[in-house]
Every structure is written in structure tokens, then in C-alpha cells.
């Protein structure tokens, strides 16, 4: 099994064994305020998501790599990279709100970028977030990514409002 170690964290393939801890943050309004596909209103939605994650990890044509972030043996969030046919990797992250602002997102994302470059041959990284999601775009900037677009029309699941979205990119 793939395991990536950082100073304080361990990254392991996400999957159904983390249902309880994933559902805790994935169903929380504050935790998912800026997200397009969350919150999950029912545990079934989280089960469906984790089934698709398990399937990807078992696939020979895997393109989505979702890692659980473990701190002191507890799953506190997830980081992901989704690789397309042009070796572009779309990055994503979420942390349980009790663990925000301690540098965990940056620590996990840096390790994932390194892994994606070295093991998956990713040559170009891209990421998107709500324009008010400071923690997310600061994480992108700390990785060395540059803002390349501001798009209109983002819809977060918990609101009907049309929002501005930032796009960040980085070439290797």
C-alpha cells in the first residue's frame, strides 16, 4: 500500500474504512461552505463517494488519487490529484475544521505534489476555489501556484448564489 510520510502526517489511500471521519466533515455546513459537491446530506452520499474512491484505487486505469490525511493515527482530512491524458493534475483538499490553520493542508499538499511529479509524471498542476476561500487559495500560493483566471458562475452546493472562482496553475 502506498504511504507518504511528512513531518507530522501520513497520507494513505482514502477508502470506506474512513466513512465515519469523512462523513463528519463532509456533512458539516461550515466545513463545506465553499464546495461545489458538498455537503453530503445523508450518509448514503458519503458511502457512494467512498465506493467510487475505492474503485479508483483498484482500477488499472486510475486517474483520481484520493489520500486520507492522518495525524496521530486519526483521519483529519483528504488531499487529491486527478490526472488527465495531458498529464495535468487537478488538486483538491479538505480538512476537518478542528484542524484548520496549523499548516496541515500545505504540508499534505506539498507531499502530494512531490508524489504526483515523481510517480505519476504530472507536469502541470491546476486548482480552483471560491474567490472567498482564502485558506484554499493561500495553500495554492504556498505551493508556488499562480492565479491564472477569475471565472464567473461558480455554484457551491449549499448556496444558490453565483460566485466568483479563482483558478491557479503551476508548471513543473
Ligand X SMILES: CC(C)(COP(=O)(O)OP(=O)(O)OC[C@H]1O[C@@H](n2cnc3c(N)ncnc32)[C@H](O)[C@@H]1OP(=O)(O)O)[C@@H](O)C(=O)NCCC(=O)NCCS
> Which residues would be at the binding site for ligand X (CB under 6 A)?
31, 34-35, 93-95, 100-106, 129, 133-136, 138-139, 142
Minimum CB distance to ligand X, residue 59 (Å): 24
Minimum CB distance to ligand X, residue 149 (Å): 14
Minimum CB distance to ligand X, residue 60 (Å): 29
Nearer to ligand X, 109 or 122 (CB): 109
Nearer to ligand X, 94 or 111 (CB): 94
Alpha-carbon gap, residue 127 to 89, rounded angstroms: 8
Give the count of beta carbons closer than 10 Å to the beta carbon of residue 11.
22
Nearer to ligand X, 81 or 95 (CB): 95
Nearer to ligand X, 35 or 81 (CB): 35
- Burial letters for 71-99: b for 16+ Cβ neighbours within 10 Å, e otherwise? beeebbbbbbbebeeeebbbbbbbbbeeb
- Which of 151, 140, 124 lies closest to 36, judged by CA? 151
Amino acid at each position: 500500500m502506498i504511504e507518504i510520510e511528512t513531518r507530522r502526517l501520513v497520507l494513505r489511500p482514502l477508502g470506506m474504512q474512513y466513512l465515519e471521519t469523512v462523513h463528519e466533515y463532509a456533512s458539516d455546513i461550515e466545513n463545506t461552505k465553499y464546495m461545489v459537491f458538498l455537503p453530503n446530506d445523508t450518509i448514503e452520499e458519503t458511502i457512494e463517494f467512498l465506493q467510487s474512491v475505492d474503485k479508483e484505487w483498484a482500477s488499472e486505469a486510475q486517474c483520481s488519487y484520493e489520500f486520507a490525511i492522518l495525524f496521530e493515527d486519526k483521519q483529519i482530512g483528504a488531499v487529491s490529484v486527478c490526472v488527465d491524458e495531458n498529464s495535468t493534475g487537478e488538486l483538491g483538499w479538505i480538512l476537518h475544521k478542528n484542524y484548520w490553520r496549523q499548516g496541515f493542508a500545505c504540508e499534505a499538499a506539498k507531499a502530494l505534489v512531490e508524489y504526483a511529479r515523481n510517480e505519476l509524471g504530472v507536469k502541470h498542476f491546476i486548482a480552483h476555489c471560491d474567490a472567498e476561500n482564502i485558506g484554499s487559495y493561500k495553500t495554492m500560493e504556498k505551493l508556488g501556484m499562480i492565479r491564472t483566471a477569475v471565472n464567473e458562475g461558480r455554484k457551491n452546493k449549499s448556496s444558490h448564489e453565483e460566485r466568483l472562482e479563482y483558478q491557479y496553475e503551476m508548471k513543473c
